[in-house]
Amino acid sequence: MTSAFDLHEFAVGMIGPAGESSLVAMLFGYFDESGTDGTSPHTAIAGFFGPLSDWCAIMGEWGAEIDREGVRPFHRVECKARRGPYWNWAEDRAIKHIDRLSGIAASSPLIPVSATFTGDWACVADTPELKVRFPHAYHLCFELLIANILDQARNHYPGDNSIMLVFERQDQFSSRAQQIYDTFKFNGRWEQVRHFSYGDKKDVPYLQIADLFAWEMRRYFWAQAKGDVNDRDFPLIRRLMGRDGYADGYLGNYLDVEGARQSLRTPIANLTFPPGVIWS
């Protein structure tokens, strides 16, 4: 399987002196999930996408901040809770580290995209067909996310684009997500998505930025549901919503049980499965 860095090396070889591709525009997206361990009523997949030049523009500063604090790779939930490699950190140090990283991520023109669900998933996947197609909220978020990526790509990068997607490795869901991707591609959908794979934060630092965003999106809607939103807890979202007239809804899809029911589309019966792929 092609790695994220192999993809970037391929892209660099196609970029001329002016920084423009001689073929089609290539957009790279990196995404992580949060809230899939069964302990949270909210599930989110979030990250950013954009051309290689936009990723490269912030990675030097991001790496310098990570190296300065001496903990690699960055993991938002552990840093916030000051556990794991952050066990001996003072709260103020963790808050300032997260805030600086949030400023770096938000300073780029990369496009934020997310899909979040809140509620009891059993109330949504309440038929045998839906239980097969969407065994967990992750799978609905996955489909909504890719649809959102394609919409935003058309809005921000009109033309013939090739989109390369890398998700944080998720052993529980990656096999089904791969089947969904293969099936949609086999049915002539998601044509602009040319590459789909999984990576690890240790090897793919771009996924650390996705981790930062995914944690905040899940916790943000959780805080909203409780009526307890403190801007200090969401430094990345606060910055993103403050740039270029971004609005809350622009950062991605947010669905409750009723919204999820209304959004379900393309029954399994309307999909032709590629050879060897059977959802069960």
Cα distance from N-terminal residue to C-terminal residue, the chain: 25
Q: How many CA atoms lie within 13 A of 207 on its CB side?
A: 23
**What's the gap between Cα 30 and its chain centre?**
6
Q: What is the pLDDT of residue 15?
A: 44
> pTM for the complete prediction?
0.87
Residues 89-143 pLDDT 10s: 999 999 999 999 999 999 999 999 999 999 898 888 888 888 888 888 998 899 9
Domains of the chain: 24-270 (3.30.420.10)
Of 174, 171, 175, 154, the closest CA to residue 163 belongs to 154
**Which stretch of 4-8, 43-47, 214-218 has the lowest confidence by average pLDDT?**
4-8
Contacts of 73 (CB under 8 A, 6+ apart): 66, 201, 202, 205, 208
Q: What is the pLDDT of residue 76?
A: 92
Q: What is the pLDDT of residue 24?
A: 55
Q: What is the pLDDT of residue 270?
A: 73
Place of tokens 């999820």: 260
Nearest-Å Rg of the Cα atoms of the chain is 19
Q: What is the pLDDT of residue 275?
A: 79
Q: Quick one: pLDDT band at residue 251, thresholds 50, 70, 90?
A: confident
The answer to whether the beta carbons of residues 183 and 277 sit under 8 Å apart is: yes
Q: Residues 244-257: what's their mean pLDDT?
A: 68
Q: Is 46 helix (H, G, I), strand (E, B) or coil?
A: strand
5 pLDDT more than 80: no
- Joined together, the tokens standing for residue 275 give 């050879």
Residues 15-71 pLDDT 10s: 444 444 434 579 999 999 998 877 778 899 999 999 999 999 999 999 999 999 999
